[in-house]
Amino acid sequence: MGAYNLYKGEHNCHNSITLNRILKQEWGFDGVVVSDWGGAHDLDQAVKNGLDMEFGTWTDGLTMGATNAYDNYYLSKPYQKAILEGTYTEKELDEKVRRVLRTFFRTTMNRRKPYGFLCSESHYEVARNVAAEGIVLLQNEKVRELNNATVLPVDPVGKKILVVGENAIKMMTVGGGSSSLKAQHEISPLQGLRDRLKDSNCQIEYARGYVGDVTGNYNGVTTGQDLRDERKPEVLIAEAVEKARTADYVIIFGGLNKSDYQDCEGHDRKGMELPYEQDKLIAALAAVNKHTVYVNISGNAVSMPWRKQVPAIVQGWFLGSEAGKALAAVLVGDVNPSGKLPFTWYESLRQVGAHSFGEEAFPGIWRNGKKEIIDEEYKEGIYVGYRWTDKQKLKPAFAFGHGLSYTTFKVSNLRAENTLTIDGKLTFNVDVTNTGNRPGMDVVQLYISDVKCSVDRPVKELKAFQKVSLNPGETKTVTLTTDKRALSFWDEESGDWKAEPGDFMVLAGDASDNLPCKVKVTLIER
């Protein structure tokens, strides 16, 4: 799918450089390029510059912009008319149709395609497993009141558990733009906990804590929930704090939702802070209960000024239909968390590269002072995410690749051939041991650093990773294989990947800031 923005004066939904030259020629992509909704702007460019299917011109997806709107797409009646008038031949049309038919053949016409039954229990089982494996345990400190044990997993038997937060009850499958779904069901975090602990002789109370988005509908789809609550924030916080004083555990489900300016397409967030005065709520709860767990429901990072006061923090994402069951399984220890962060979780926007170069980098400057086109100058270069963190020697809240477990692991004995040929495979072996007392999974990550290079390169770059499952005391050898691309950089002069002979440092561990193993290898030309 092409993007909305322009590159070198051409929209990326029909761009001669990004689509024709790079995607289809250099990368050999033989599938279909579609426009984002309403992303096509010019008939001639749409015909010639790599667009195969057009979506959304003359309509905003909710209402018609014209009668028979699809006929008005650039690649519909106007394209047909231009061919009949001789402006274009059928050469470009044949190429577009060929790509569409090839995609049909590979998908709907594939007789070897594995079939399943929509909304079957087997599908929901997959949804639960995928959701549970993706949950990230960010923090799990030991607490003196629990005999120096960690807060998670929760020991529910005979306990009083207070669940707080709108995100404990709010459906998240509806809203957000294109992520909005018509789900058969969605199990909330509160319901998931109640179902899991119904036979555990524990008491579960609920406090709203904050009020956010109570609409519950988007694009004609409605959740059927009525989340209206007219109480003021201070009243909601006071109620939650009073209940927290007598609870054995407090589990807060907060974060973002899929409203405008949160996790929603079409609107950037205005900051990293939590909305709806959640920071006040979380700090107040942590002050009166040392067994507080915060579960962040969002698609990306938030700032956590109270992080050192909350012993356990979980990243819960938007987990779909089985969200409540997956979260409950992790919180009570049925599932040992094994997810890893796919991005660097910064303390605040001050640590983010894009916010370090002035407003022309972000949020950008309106061209010629008119609010029509905004120009953003990309200034980070190759230093994005953990590459920026390494270059600036920053300490983020949580590093790229970070994710804890209810057991512990040791990564050791990284080894490889000391001399590698420029056209050969790169094979590395590393041992992983479960040093704790329960089964679990860890993700071994391999980074490579170029000791000396003719161009500027990141301190290190992730080149391979693999998840491994281990019983207590078990050791497995993980083999990670790649090739010379792992040692290469993009050479602007030759327009190709280039690996320079010399020394490279190979690092292994289970997070970008936890790489205890290293070995030096030398690349030679054969």
SS3 content of the chain, % helix, strand, coil (to 5): 25, 25, 50
User: Which of 69, 327, 287 minimizes the C-alpha distance to 191?
Assistant: 327
pLDDT at 372: 76
Does residue 432 sit in helix, strand or coil? strand
Q: Domain spans of the chain?
A: 6-106, 121-331, 349-392, 409-524
Q: Quick one: pLDDT at residue 208?
A: 98
Q: Which of 501, 470, 489, 477 is nearest to 428 (CA)?
A: 477
Q: How far apart are CA 296 and CA 171, in angstroms?
A: 15
Name the β-bridge partners of 470. Answer: 440
* pLDDT score recorded for residue 421: 63
Sequence-ordered list of residues with C-beta below 8 angstroms from that of 104, at least 6 positions apart, any chain: none
C-beta of residue 253 within 8 angstroms of C-beta of residue 168? yes
Total-model pTM: 0.92
Check residue 362 and give its pLDDT: 84
Contacts of 335 (CB under 8 A, 6+ apart): 132, 133, 135, 326, 329
Rounded Cα–Cα distance for residues 164 and 282 (Å): 9
- The tokens describing 395, both together, are 């300490």
46: part of which helix (H) or strand (E)?
helix 43-48
71 is catalytic: no
Given the residues 30, 36, 195, 431, the one annotated as active site: 36
Place of tokens 């990004």: 18
At 37 the three-state DSSP class reads coil
Q: Does domain 121-331 have CATH number 3.40.50.1700?
A: yes
Q: For tokens 């915060």, name the residue.
A: 294
What is the pLDDT, as a whole number, of residue 288?
97
Per-residue model confidence as pLDDT tens for the chain (526 residues): 999 988 998 999 999 999 999 999 999 999 999 999 889 999 999 999 999 999 877 655 445 556 677 888 999 999 999 999 999 999 999 999 999 999 998 888 877 777 677 888 989 999 999 999 999 999 999 888 777 889 999 999 999 999 999 999 999 999 888 888 888 999 999 999 999 999 989 999 999 999 999 988 887 888 889 999 999 999 999 999 999 999 999 999 999 999 999 999 878 899 999 999 999 999 999 999 999 999 999 999 999 999 999 999 999 999 999 999 999 999 999 999 999 999 999 999 999 998 988 888 888 888 887 777 788 888 999 999 999 999 999 999 999 999 999 999 999 999 987 666 656 788 999 999 999 999 999 999 999 999 999 999 999 999 999 999 999 999 999 999 888 889 999 998 888 899 999 999 999 999 999 999 999 998 887 6
pLDDT of residue 423: 64
* Superfamily of segment(s) 409-524: Immunoglobulins (2.60.40.10)
Residues facing 296 on adjacent strands: 254, 315
Q: Long-range pairs for 142-148 at CB < 8 Å and ≥24 separation?
A: 142/311, 143/290, 143/291, 143/311, 144/290, 145/290, 145/291, 146/291
Report helix, strand or coil for 330.
helix
